[in-house]
């Protein structure tokens, strides 16, 4: 394949052999330099909000049918960034940096046209297996998305199959606080990583995502080339009122198209449903201060990322080994001292009642999942960004 530099063909094919005979945590395997990405998995939750206006629009929509459609439109609008942006920006899917336990990432999207500031906080809550917890909040709109994700990987017919573990919960707090909070459960699709043989991996989504809440249940079915539209990245979303809950919307809404381009209504509506414009708003990492800590993603991986970006793989691998050795030592010291690493922003709970209740409506499996509850302790660095500017001319 063209994508693999001649000097790395041998190491690429041994890497492929090791994934084929391996099950478990792929992130721990050593891969050849050309496939390494300078981006840590803690930065990925930002993909949920790279089109912040669609997120804010959820709060502006009328509760009931219109809001459930706004949630679906926002969800679909995140997929291009989640699953194709590395191909667009780096030429192929790449192997992300494997976060250390306690690694954190913070960022914001600015207020624009009255949509409010959106804040992001991420913490790596487990290293073996890697689990990432996140919260995205738009306080002025009363919106909060929390979730966690992990992956189970296997190898089949030349592709990596990635089952996503975890889920996200979106809450909408109406301005009128006497109105009830609306809660939506969002489940994550399965991934297939194709193109490995040629050294140019890319993702295809398979299986389903579900969005349950606000009186509606929506299933989004993902198929690749040759199914609904004969095109890759196609999906079909079907939304129905939850018996006894759904409001005045249509009996059934069907939307058909491709998640990285556009889709339209084929039932219960007409015309365009979504159209991904090229313009996305990359998250702005919070400026680093002591308070953010030494495990803040950009700070922690600075030299590894520099090495990967500039082709100085000696620097990258030396720094990566230093970080990994420090981590091993830390774990040993904790074991010796009989202590345990404490999570900073999240609290692990064995079950998630919100998940259980909403998953039951759509008969999802598994029936229960663990939860990482956000403690609400935003670092003070956010305050200067979120606080509204002082009214000008006031005395
Ligand atoms: C959550 C997303 C997830 C993380 C990544 C599978 C993968 C790690 C997890 C699921 C985000 O919301 C969405 C997008 C991409 C997913 C990654 C793609 C990928 O390849 C990696 C795995 C661990 C690898 O790096 C496999 C080896 C590599 C050489 C293939 C490019």
- Annotate 256-295 with DSSP letters as a single string: EEETTSEEEEEESS-SEEEE--S-----EEPPP-GGG-TT
Ligand 1 atom with minimal separation from the 92 CA: 31
Ligand 1 atom with minimal separation from the 83 CA: 14
205/235 Cα distance (integer angstroms): 9
Q: Using alpha carbons only, how large is the chain's radius of gyration in Å?
A: 22
Which residues neighbour 359 within 8 Å (Cβ) at sequence distance 6 or greater? 185, 187, 212, 366, 367, 368, 369
Cis preceding linkage at 102, omega within 30: no
Per-residue pLDDT 10s for the chain (395 aa) are: 468 999 999 999 999 999 888 767 787 788 999 999 999 999 999 999 999 999 999 999 999 999 999 999 999 999 999 999 999 999 999 999 999 999 999 999 999 999 999 999 999 999 999 999 999 999 999 999 999 999 999 999 899 999 999 999 999 999 888 888 999 999 999 999 999 999 999 999 999 999 999 999 999 999 887 555 578 999 999 999 998 886 678 999 999 999 999 999 999 999 999 999 877 999 999 999 999 999 999 999 999 999 999 999 999 999 999 999 999 999 999 999 999 999 999 999 999 999 999 999 999 999 999 999 999 999 999 988 876 656 666 54
If residue 75 lies in a helix (H) or strand (E), which one and from where to where?
Answer: helix 65-90
Q: How far is ligand 1, taken at its centre, from the CA of residue 96, in Å?
A: 7
Q: What are residue 182's DSSP bridge partners?
A: 172
Q: Ligand 1 within 6 A of 192 CB?
A: no
Q: What does pTM read for this prediction?
A: 0.95
Shortest-distance Cα residue to atom 19 of ligand 1: 95
| Cβ atoms 342, 334 nearer than 8 A | no
Ligand 1 atom with minimal separation from the 153 CA: 6
Q: How far is ligand 1, taken at its centre, from the CA of residue 245, in Å?
A: 37
Pocket test for ligand 1, best of 24, 96, 129 (most atoms within 8 A of CB): 96
372 phi/psi in degrees, rounded to 5: -110, 105
pLDDT digits (tens, 9 = 90+) for 6-39: 999 999 999 999 988 876 778 778 899 999 999 9
ipTM: 0.98
Q: How far is ligand 1, taken at its centre, from the CA of residue 311, in Å?
A: 22
Shortest-distance Cα residue to atom 21 of ligand 1: 95
Q: Ligand 1 within 6 A of 95 CB?
A: yes
Shortest-distance Cα residue to atom 24 of ligand 1: 95
Q: Ligand 1 within 6 A of 151 CB?
A: yes
Q: Ligand 1 within 6 A of 149 CB?
A: yes
Shortest-distance Cα residue to atom 1 of ligand 1: 44
Q: Ligand 1 within 6 A of 164 CB?
A: yes
Pocket test for ligand 1, best of 44, 48, 154, 188 (most atoms within 8 A of CB): 44
């Amino acid at each position: 394949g063209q994508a693999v530099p001649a000097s790395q063909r041998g190491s690429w094919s041994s890497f492929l052999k090791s994934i084929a005979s391996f099950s478990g945590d792929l992130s721990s395997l050593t891969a050849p330099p050309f496939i390494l990405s300078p981006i840590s998995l803690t930065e990925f939750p930002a993909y949920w909000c790279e089109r912040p206006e669609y997120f804010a629009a959820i709060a502006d929509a009328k509760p009931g049918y219109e809001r459930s459609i706004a949630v679906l439109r926002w969800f679909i609008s995140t997929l291009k960034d989640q699953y194709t942006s590395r191909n667009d920006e780096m030429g192929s899917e790449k192997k992300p940096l494997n976060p250390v336990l306690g690694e954190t990432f913070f960022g914001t999207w600015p207020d624009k046209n009255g949509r409010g500031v959106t804040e992001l906080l991420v913490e790596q809550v487990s290293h073996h297996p890697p689990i990432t917890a996140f919260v995205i909040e738009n306080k002025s709109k009363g919106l909060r998305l929390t979730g966690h994700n992990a992956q189970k990987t296997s190898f089949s017919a030349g592709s990596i199959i990635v089952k996503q573990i975890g889920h996200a919960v979106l809450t909408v707090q109406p301005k009128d606080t006497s109105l009830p909070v609306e809660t939506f459960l969002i489940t994550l699709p399965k991934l297939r990583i194709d193109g490995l043989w040629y050294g140019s991996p890319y993702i295809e989504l398979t299986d389903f995502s579900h969005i349950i809440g606000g009186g509606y249940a929506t299933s989004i079915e993902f198929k690749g080339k040759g199914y609904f539209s004969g095109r890759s990245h196609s999906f079909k979303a079907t939304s129905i009122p939850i018996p006894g809950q759904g409001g005045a919307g249509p009996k059934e809404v069907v939307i058909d198209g491709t998640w990285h381009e556009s889709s339209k209504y084929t039932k219960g509506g007409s015309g365009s449903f979504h159209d991904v414009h090229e313009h996305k708003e990359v998250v702005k990492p919070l400026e680093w201060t002591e308070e953010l800590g030494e495990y803040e993603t950009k700070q922690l991986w600075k030299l590894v990322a520099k090495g990967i970006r500039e082709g100085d793989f000696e620097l990258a691998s030396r720094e990566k080994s230093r970080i990994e050795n420090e981590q091993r030592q830390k774990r040993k010291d904790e074991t010796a001292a009989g202590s345990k690493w404490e999570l900073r922003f999240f609290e692990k709970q064995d079950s998630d009642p919100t998940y259980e209740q909403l998953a039951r409506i759509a008969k999802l499996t598994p029936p229960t999942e663990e939860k990482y509850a956000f403690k609400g302790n935003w670092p003070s660095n956010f305050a200067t960004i979120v606080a509204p500017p002082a009214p000008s001319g006031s005395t």
